[in-house]
Amino acid sequence: MLMNPDKIAERQQRADRLVQARLRSKIGGTKKVSAHFGWNHNTYKSHDSGRTSFGLEDARKYARAFGVSTEWLFMGTGQPDDVDPEMLQPVDVPLVTWVSAGEIESQDGITDLDDCPVISTLDLPDGDWIALRVEGESMNRVSPPGSIIFVNRRDRRLVANGCYVIADETGAATYKRYRPAEDPPFRPASTDAIDPPQLQGMVKVIGRVRRTVLDM
């Protein structure tokens, strides 16, 4: 199975930061560093080169050894010299398609998200999360095209002005803001004049959108 290009890029960026941390230490190359800290050289070298990925526990070990921020080393957040707060746990969230989002809870739909690519984020509250990449301009006031939205499928309580992913009886999923005083209540939040979606039959709330992220 081919690895997701985003995951490959993330792995290499993490390896590049590990190289930076090693060079800052001025101990030497991978062989000298491994001997200095008592690490398995083949394992460390594969992490340093980006040939294999390393997880949070290894990141903490390397950060302590090289005197850099774990959060910077593992997630690319902040600067190497930052003092780590209590380390936030990264969460891998399945990145699904809009078609999949509409089918997730249908009787014949997707029940296992293990085969989906994942996107890592920090500090999500407890929930049942999926992520989707925003298409189109209908929610550009809060989520420009290309944004990643994080949807808590455990949070379906409708709140005025809350943003939700919903699906109609055909399984078509969409992302809209809830305005209970208007008809229809699920509406765009856009700088453009975009009509509300034409939903068919019963509307099902898939979950509430709690975070939107756009890479610059």
Q: What per-residue confidence (pLDDT) applies to 109?
A: 46
> Residue 15 and residue 12: Cα distance in Å, rounded?
5
CB 195 within 8 A of CB 187: no
Q: Are residues 63 and 95 in the same domain?
A: no
Q: Are residues 202 and 101 in the same domain?
A: yes
Q: What per-residue confidence (pLDDT) applies to 125?
A: 81
Closest CA to 204 of 159, 170, 162: 170
Q: What per-residue confidence (pLDDT) applies to 22?
A: 96
Q: Is residue 159 part of a domain?
A: yes
Q: Are residues 107 and 192 in the same domain?
A: yes
Q: Is residue 105 part of a domain?
A: yes
Q: Are residues 97 and 21 in the same domain?
A: no
Tell me the CATH number at 24.
Answer: 1.10.260.40
Q: Is residue 109 part of a domain?
A: yes
CB 204 within 8 A of CB 214: no
CB 83 within 8 A of CB 69: yes
Q: What per-residue confidence (pLDDT) applies to 126?
A: 82
> Residue 57 and residue 42: Cα distance in Å, rounded?
17
Mean pLDDT of the chain: 88
Amino acid at 121: T
Residue 85 CB: number of other CB atoms within 10 A? 10
Question: Structure tokens of 25?
Answer: 């230490």
Q: Would you give the DSSP letter of residue 87?
A: P
Q: Are residues 106 and 209 in the same domain?
A: yes
Task: Among 75, 107, 134, identify where a domain stops.
Answer: 75
Q: Which domain holds residue 20?
A: 5-75
* Residue 149, helix vs strand vs coil: strand
Task: Among 75, 108, 137, identify where a domain stops.
Answer: 75
Residue written as tokens 């209540």? 185
Q: What per-residue confidence (pLDDT) applies to 87?
A: 58
Task: Among 27, 43, 75, identify where a domain stops.
Answer: 75
Q: Are residues 96 and 152 in the same domain?
A: yes
Q: Is residue 30 part of a domain?
A: yes
pLDDT in tens, the chain (216 residues): 455 677 888 899 999 999 999 999 999 999 999 999 999 999 999 999 999 999 888 998 999 999 999 989 998 888 999 877 655 667 889 999 887 777 665 544 445 667 788 888 877 888 999 999 999 999 999 999 999 999 999 999 999 999 999 999 988 899 999 999 999 999 999 999 999 999 899 999 999 999 998 875
Q: What per-residue confidence (pLDDT) applies to 43?
A: 95
Q: What per-residue confidence (pLDDT) applies to 34?
A: 93
Question: Count of domains in the chain?
Answer: 2
The alpha-helical segments, DSSP class H, found in 2-107 are: 5-25, 30-37, 41-49, 56-66, 70-75, 98-103
Cβ partners under 8 Å of residue 160, min gap 6 = 178, 179, 180, 181
Tell me the CATH number at 120.
Answer: 2.10.109.10
